[in-house]
Amino acid sequence: MDDTTREFLDSLLQTSTPSGFEAPGQREWVDYVSEFADEVRTDEYGNAVAIVEGGEPTVAVTGHCDEIGFMVRDINDDGSLSLTRIGGSDKTVSQGQHVVVHTDDGTVPGVIGQTAIHLRDRDEDSYSKIREQHVDIGVDEADAAASLVEVGDPITFDQTVSELEDGRITARGLDNRIGIWAAAEALRRAAERDPEATVCAVSTVQEEVGLKGAQMVGFDLAPDVAIATDVTHATDGPGVPGDRDTGIELGDGPVVARGSTNHPNVVAAVREVADDADLDYQLQAAGSRTGTDADAFYVSQGGIPSLNVGVPNRYMHTPVEMLDLDDLDAAAELLGQFAARAAEFDYAVEF
């Protein structure tokens, strides 16, 4: 990963994009892909599509730009802010965290309060529900808080990208700004190979609240093939229950899902490309669903051959998600090479 692509990754990770409030991150993404795409367009909800023109088929490489977070549910008499979730926010990691409230006039810092251990009943050390937690922005009355924030303002953890050992990074919201990074990079790398197919990179909105953006794009763009790139659970870290171990490890390459959503011909084509390019990859069983935008793409129109390619991720939906940069770069390379060769393959199931 060179300096330019790493700078792009960091800019995505440092830009807050909670579901329903993705515009700042989408601007970053559009600016980047505009340097090499033939066309870039957005829709009314902020989904973004970058296109490198070619012939048939049309292949879409996608990720979702939104992240989980919180929202101001109410302003209390004491100036604290009550919370509601945006997506699958985890009540066990939220208290005692620095946060940012994103208002129309800028950002307001705060903390999600946690009663000191000295003052808590030791026999009742349980996790409060999100709606029972509060943000303290430093004021003592409702009017003062209301002059700064409004009900419905989104909230995200105030977290930076940290470098760990052996090429690994940790940050909030790797799920799934890394997917839109990979989609953009796949488009750039495919464009350098002068693809016969038309290649689209897609950055969708509102995946974390029900795959909404992918439903919109799948209907509107109607590609012949769609590959959704998202994080998937690496189960090689400490504390993972044994019955949840999938064998997916950080550093062993991107993950190709099989079953249900994942069209067998697309699976076979991507594996062939990986083998030809000597790119390591892992396999994952997805017997019912993938839980990603691929689940929305494959039932769009009359059925779009789709696949989920995952990037191994530890500690998903926490402020300290972790991945290996080599896995991410390999995912972009695999998707770029597949997109460049997409015209070579047949995606219709034969009987």
Sheet with 225-233, side-by-side order of all strands: 39-42, 48-52, 197-204, 55-64, 225-233, 306-313, 255-258, 282-285
User: CA separation (Å) from 76 to 62, 110, 149, 152?
Assistant: 41, 15, 12, 14
Sheet with 321-324, side-by-side order of all strands: 162-163, 168-171, 321-324
Is 207 annotated in the active site? yes
> How does DSSP classify residue 324?
E
Whether 263 has a binding-site annotation, put simply, is no
Whether 230 has a binding-site annotation, put simply, is yes
For residue 51, give the 3-state DSSP assignment.
Answer: strand
User: Which of the following is catalytic: 22, 28, 67, 207?
Assistant: 207
Full DSSP string of 155-182: EEE----EE-GGGEEEETTHHHHHHHHH
Cis, bond preceding 265 (omega within 30 deg of 0): no
Residue with tokens 């067998």: 264
Whether 317 has a binding-site annotation, put simply, is yes
Active site residues per annotation: 207
Extract the annotated binding site for Zn(2+): 64, 175, 208, 230, 317
